[in-house]
A and B are shown apart, each in its own frame.
Chain A
Amino acid sequence: DIQMTQSPSSLSASVGDRVTISCRAGQNIRTFLNWYQQKPGKAPKVLISATSTLESGVPSRFGGSGSGTDFTLTISSLKPEDFAIYYCQQTFTTPYTFGQGTKLEIK
């Protein structure tokens, strides 16, 4: 299985801040990396597919980059609704695997 490791596991930030969340794959996954946002009691919601493709309806303050083993999710200017848990997922090969999550909290 490909292990996905996110850092940090938790992050405190303020509205308006720029934040980055990292995701490292245990082997080369090219650009087969997706990002999801999950709020308490809700299903995950896809933000970005294929490393950098913004899903329809997702605000442009979200951005993704990377290739191979190192990937980044950037939120350019935090809004109150962005405080949630973020997961990366590789779909390069089965079994698909998720990172352990990064909890973004309000400072």
Chain B
Amino acid sequence: QVRLQESGPGLVKPSQTLSLTCNVSGDSITNGGHYWNWVRQHPGKGLEWIGYIFHSGLTYYTPSLKSRAAMSVDTSKNQFSLNLRSVTAADTAVYFCARASYYFGDNGDHPYFDYWGQGALVTVSS
């Protein structure tokens, strides 16, 4: 049974760095058939994809957060992390980690998010 679990401070001061870790169990983070994502959801709003990281360390960040986001992977602990610098109240959200897998179809390899953490609420406030 694959499980993802976010952890980190629930309260961060403005201008500081938000740091979250996603612990993965039931699967190896080095499994080449998957890659690892962060998604956030502002209170009462929809889903916003932040970016992904492969076990090799290859990353992609959504353009609106690229200048402040950094992801890393720790294969020895089977976990990956998100740092978001210079946070403001607009970064208050529930942060989810999620595993991406592929559906291998005739039309190409289709990524989708098959396992998610339960979410971690991070509030930015002084």
A residues contacting B by CB (< 8 A) are 1, 30-32, 34, 36, 38, 42-46, 49-50, 53, 55, 87, 89, 91, 94-101
For the complex, is B74 an interface residue (Cβ under 8 Å from A)?
Answer: no
Interface size on B, residues (CB 8 A): 24
For the complex, is B96 an interface residue (Cβ under 8 Å from A)?
Answer: yes
Q: Write the chain B residue with the least CB distance to A99.
A: B46
Q: Write the chain B residue with the least CB distance to A33.
A: B110
Q: Return chain A residues, CB-CB under 8 Å to B47.
A: 36, 38, 44, 87, 89, 98, 101
For the complex, is B118 an interface residue (Cβ under 8 Å from A)?
Answer: yes
Q: Return chain A residues, CB-CB under 8 Å to B116.
A: 43-45
B residues contacting A by CB (< 8 A) are 46-49, 51, 60, 62-63, 96, 98, 100, 103, 105, 107-108, 110-114, 116-119
Q: Are B112 and A98 in contact (CB under 8 A)?
A: no
Q: Are B113 and A34 in contact (CB under 8 A)?
A: yes
Please give 15 more A-B residue pairs, beta carbons under 8 A apart, in addition to A44-B113, A89-B113, A94-B60.
A31-B105, A31-B110, A34-B110, A36-B113, A42-B118, A43-B116, A43-B118, A44-B96, A50-B107, A55-B114, A87-B46, A89-B47, A91-B110, A91-B112, A95-B60
User: Among A1, A38, A89, A96, which residue has its beta carbon within 8 angstroms of that of B63?
Assistant: A1
Chain B nearest CB from A26 CB (Å) reads 15
User: Among A30, A42, A44, which residue has its beta carbon within 8 angstroms of that of B107?
Assistant: A30
What's the count of A-B pairs with C-beta under 8 Å?
Answer: 71
Q: Are A95 and B63 in contact (CB under 8 A)?
A: yes
Q: Write the chain A residue with the least CB distance to B49.
A: A96
Considering the chains assembled together, what is the distance between the CA atoms of A101 and B48 in angstroms? 11
Considering the chains assembled together, what is the distance between the CA atoms of A103 and B119 in angstroms? 20
Q: Return chain A residues, CB-CB under 8 Å to B46.
A: 87, 98-101
Q: Return chain A residues, CB-CB under 8 Å to B60.
A: 94-95
Q: Return chain A residues, CB-CB under 8 Å to B113.
A: 34, 36, 44, 46, 89
Considering the chains assembled together, what is the distance between the CA atoms of A101 and B47 in angstroms? 8
Q: Are B105 and A50 in contact (CB under 8 A)?
A: yes
Q: Are B117 and A43 in contact (CB under 8 A)?
A: yes
Q: Are B107 and A46 in contact (CB under 8 A)?
A: no
Please provide the 6 A-B residue pairs with the shortest distance between their CB atoms, ordered closest to farther: A49-B112, A43-B116, A50-B110, A95-B62, A91-B111, A50-B103
